[in-house]
Amino acid sequence: MRGDFKLIPEKKLAAFYSILFVLLAVAPAAYAMHIEDGILEPKWWIAWYIAAALFIYPGLREVKRRVQENLSYKPFLAMVGVAVFVISAMHLPVPVTGSCSHPCGTPLAAIVVGPFATVVISVIALFFQAIFFAHGGITTIGANTFSMGICGAFIGYFSWKLLRSLRSPLWLAAGAAGFLGDLVTYLAAAFQLALNVPGGHLSFFQQWMVFFLGYGPTQLPLAILEAIFTAAVLQVMVKRRPDLIPGFSQSGKTVSQISKNI
Amino acid sequence: MSVEKVQWFDSFTRTVLIVGLALLLGIFGSAYYMNIHKMAAGGTDDKVNDLAAQSVHVQHHPLVELPGDAAISAFSVANFCAGLIIGHNWRKLFDPGKIEETKG
């Protein structure tokens, strides 16, 4: 009999648990992340700002173009932007090394909203992390954008495109993008720190590898996690809204037909 | 007389709960392991920042200090809003019911 039982509103429950999950997953972080203020010399942080700006301008143009092409792009971009903000602030403990680090989220963002648009959302995410969370710095936004928003995003995007052009399954291409994008982000951050160190008893390459070995052992398990996450999320997105993902908007095919091919 | 079943979790809530619990168990398991092995569990970025700062004899510093529970409250507020935005847009764009509505 309808009326004897009051149904739990599913949407409210779903929203409540989503929020609870995000809060629980992220709240314990308390350590500084990304490259902080005070480390890079002015000549380097200015250079990284200029390098990042070269990608931000086409990024803004890409956003403007795709917003006009697809009405769903704007809320999609907002969702992905906030996801990058949350994922790149998620400090996860890695027991094998006894330390914590974070995934990036930019390889997934590059695949779904485009690599140049990912640079724009990375700058915004890093800015808010710097001013509200003490993560990263203001002078180092250019450098952090270059490593996470440009290197991580573009390597992830190109590996995705390459593997898809070789007809590899979606999970493999997306997983490889997540894995490589994550590791290359830290390879780039180590490169930036090595450039900043004046020549001493170590060569530039050795210095680079010293910094990368600081990140690498903790980052490797997280890169695997990022690969799984990227593949899983992309699989769901392509199954439900192939029209939103570049390369999947195949006219004349139903969603189920596209799902069978991925 | 038909008896309507109370549905506690829809598939979206179930999936989010399973993923959330798996991640949280992973975090708690890792934290437990690090605690019993007396590992510092500090941030890798922080360690490398320290190393880089020592190499060039400077001090690194955050723009703002968030001592004690201030960090937790900053994360809570930011991620409360982030959760709302992601959840709202996810349902708008990817919820099967909404997709059908858009098509219909």
What is the rounded distance in angstroms from the CA atom of residue A126 to the CA atom of residue A140?
9
User: Which is more confident, A32 or A42?
Assistant: A42
Nearest CA in chain B to A225: B23
pLDDT score recorded for residue A198: 77
Is the separation of the CB atoms in A203 and A186 below 8 Å?
Answer: no
Give the percent of chain B with pLDDT over 90: 19
CATH number of A40-244: 1.10.1760.20
Residues in chain B with CB shorter than 8 Å from the CB of A4 are 3-4
What residues are paired with A2 via a beta bridge?
A5
Q: Is the pLDDT of residue A1 over 80?
A: no
**Distance from the A164 Cα atom to the nearest Cα atom in chain B, whole angstroms:** 23
**Distance from the A52 Cα atom to the nearest Cα atom in chain B, whole angstroms:** 21
Here the tokens at position A244 are 């939103």
Per residue in A109-122, pLDDT (tens digit) is 999 999 999 999 99
* Yes or no, beta carbons of A92 and B9 under 8 Å apart: no
Per residue in A131-184, pLDDT (tens digit) is 888 888 899 999 999 999 999 999 999 999 999 999 999 999 999 999 999 999
Mean pLDDT of A237-244: 89
ipTM: 0.82
* Yes or no, beta carbons of A39 and B24 under 8 Å apart: no
Residues in chain A with CB shorter than 8 Å from the CB of B47 are 99, 214
Is the separation of the CB atoms in A183 and A105 below 8 Å?
Answer: no
Nearest CA in chain A to B72: A27
Per residue in A170-191, pLDDT (tens digit) is 999 999 999 999 999 999 999 9
Ranges of each domain in chain A: 40-244
Q: What is the mean pLDDT of chain A?
A: 84
User: Which is more confident, B101 or B14?
Assistant: B14
Per residue in A248-257, pLDDT (tens digit) is 765 444 444 4
Q: Report DSSP state, residue A199.
A: P
- B6, B56, B60 ranked by CB distance to A37: nearest: B60
pLDDT score recorded for residue A38: 87
Per residue in A98-109, pLDDT (tens digit) is 888 899 999 999
Here the tokens at position A173 are 């291409």
Per residue in A67-92, pLDDT (tens digit) is 998 888 999 999 999 999 999 988 88
B14 in reach of chain A (CB within 8 A): no
A45-59, A144-158, A236-250, range with the lowest pLDDT: A236-250
What is the rounded distance in angstroms from the CA atom of residue A225 to the CA atom of residue B18?
16
- Length of chain A, please? 262
Classify A147 as helix, strand or coil. Answer: helix
Interface test with A, best of B6, B21, B45 (most A CBs within 10 A): B45
Q: Is the pLDDT of residue B10 over 90?
A: no
